[in-house]
Amino acid sequence: MKITVIGAGYVGLVSAVCFAELGNKVLCVEKSSSKLDELSRGMSPIQEPGLTEILDKNLEEGRIRFSDSIKEGVDFSKVIFICVGTPQSENGMADLSQVEEVSRQIAMHMGEYKLIIEKSTVPVKTHELIRRTIKRYAREDLEFDVASNPEFLREGFAVYDFMNPDRIVIGVESKRAVEIFQEIYQPFTENGNTLFVTKTSAAEIIKYASNSFLAIKISYINMLADLAEKVGVDVDMIAEGVGRDKRIGRDFLNAGIGYGGSCLPKDVNAFIHMAENYGLDFGLLKETEKINLNRRKQFLEKVEKLLWINRDKKIAVWGLAFKANTDDVRDAPSLGIVKGLLETGAQLCLYDPEAMENFKTIFSESKKLNYVEDKYDALHESEALLVLTEWDEFKEADLKRIKELMKLPIVVDGRNIFNRDKMESEGFEYHGMGR
């Protein structure tokens, strides 16, 4: 099939490259000339395992190309995926100006039937606004469908998730559109994965509802972590016991310093606002957000209680990315924690295997903050080690070496990656979250 993808951001690029890998001919439209230049040379602007390899391969085999022209994209295929950004605006709602602009452009260049698919995360009823925009700007006699096909990719596993979907959700209103989707996703349905076909508004809600549910699970376990700490039990045991109920599941019950990233915080907030627009007070999500933001504060209080006075004490920080296997620091808990530590006058030494460059754009090196290229180098003379991201290389670190390098062997584990008994038997003063 021929497929046009508009927007080479996270979702757009991964989808475009994966559609090409599935054997389609793909044209990906992107307005940033620097990004286009990189992409045409086979370089991916985002770090995702496997992405550069399949980008190179499909460029070479002529199945994918990039352009800055929406007109070219519209002429290329009857199937157009809109994957442009929907950032959070100042009032917490999704900013849909790029979606509107692209819809107008598509309408103005359309000469025959098109299936226009929103893949970006958009508030419920956005498809109606797209439809209205296209009707206004396109030739009157032209037929078209607008559908929703939300994406559920995790950063760090995006290619894997695209190629091995748990579910493919399609929000459509016409039989013709369903048939086109069946063709697009045939490689998956052949393997037994069925399309979940629903109303367009339902598909739009499913995306927000999924991310919000994950956020609720995390805030719930973090609340239980506080309770566990007060009672004197280990929250991991509670998570294990609760998670063995198949209806609940163990996933997303890891307590710690809370969720971050470019999706969960933004989507929870947007969902609250979306509900408000319909006169509903989504108190459950407001509490989820509140608990999440409080984690950073609580972590800082924990550190301050342990060190009494942070001023001029050397503190090592391991992990800056919002989660492991990514260089992304957007809305990462580390941002608030590092800011809070600097305000107390601590002397910080930071290390992350991937995210230091991105972190440096927000916190540049200074007298009170420096970055090191080796995690052990962060530990010299430190009076505490703070773990903020659950990287495997931290889990596998040499405990004896850590202890030797530190001035005081205090570890505050914001992600509960270490085994408490082991840490204590190695002579550490160990503090986890809810343990």
**Which residues are designated catalytic?**
263
Interface stretch with ligand UGA, choices 47-55, 85-93, 152-160, 177-185 (CB under 6 A): 152-160
What phi and psi values does residue 74 have, to the nearest 5 degrees? -70, -40
Q: Which of 77, 120, 126, 254 binds ligand UGA (CB under 6 A)?
A: 254
Which of these segments, 146-154, 162-170, 183-191, 398-406, binds ligand UGA (CB under 6 A)? 146-154
Q: Of the candidates 219, 200, 204, which has an alpha carbon nearest to the alpha carbon of residue 271?
A: 204
Binding test (CB under 6 A) with ligand UGA, winner from 28, 55, 70, 263: 263
Least CB distance from residue 261 to ligand UGA, whole Å? 4
Nearest to 121 by CA among 325, 297, 268: 268
Give every CB contact of residue 38 below 8 A, 6+ residues apart in sequence: 44, 45
Separation CA 398–CA 195 (nearest Å): 47
Q: By the 8 A CB rule, do 352 and 326 touch?
A: no
Q: Does 434 bind ligand UGA (CB under 6 A)?
A: no
Binders of ligand UGA: how many residues, by CB under 6 A?
21
Choose which of 85, 261, 340, 409 interacts with ligand UGA (CB under 6 A). Answer: 261
Q: Which residue type does 246 have?
A: K
Q: Tokens in use for 228?
A: 């566990």
Question: What is the enclosing helix (H) or strand (E) of 403?
Answer: helix 399-405
Tokens linked to 259 = 């969720």
Which of 80, 153, 338, 355 is close enough to bind ligand UGA by CB under 6 A?
Answer: 153
Determine, following the binding rule CB under 6 A, whether residue 260 of this chain makes contact with ligand UGA.
yes
Nearer to ligand UGA, 137 or 157 (CB): 157
Q: Check binding of 253 to ligand UGA (CB under 6 A).
A: yes
Distance, CA of 262 to CA of 335 (rounded, Å): 13
The reply to whether 214 sits near ligand UGA by the rule CB under 6 A is yes
CA distance linking residue 356 with residue 55, whole number of Å: 25
For residue 362, what are its two tokens? 């927000």
Distance CA 315, CA 76 (A): 56
CA angle (404, 409, 410) in 5-degree steps: 155
Q: Is 118 in the site for ligand UGA (CB under 6 A)?
A: no
Q: How far is the CB of 76 from ligand UGA (least distance, A)?
A: 26
CB 24 within 8 A of CB 2: yes
Selected range binding ligand UGA among 34-42, 50-58, 246-254, 394-402, rule: CB under 6 A? 246-254
Give the residue with the Cβ less far from ligand UGA, 214 or 216. Answer: 214
User: In sequence order, which ranges of 61-143 are alpha helices (DSSP H)?
Assistant: 70-76, 97-109, 126-137
Whole-number minimum distance, CB 158 to ligand UGA, in Å? Answer: 8
User: Between 21 and 151, whose beta carbon lies closer to ligand UGA?
Assistant: 151
Q: Which stretch binds ligand UGA (CB under 6 A): 70-78, 110-118, 151-159, 356-364?
A: 151-159
Kindly state whether residue 144 participates in binding ligand UGA, applying the rule CB under 6 A: no
The amino acid sitting at 130 is I
224 scored as a contact of ligand UGA (CB under 6 A): no
CA distance 122 to 386: 36
Tell me if 388 contacts ligand UGA by CB under 6 A: no
Footprint of ligand UGA on this chain (CB under 6 A)? 121, 151-155, 211, 214, 218, 252-254, 256, 258-261, 263-264, 322-323
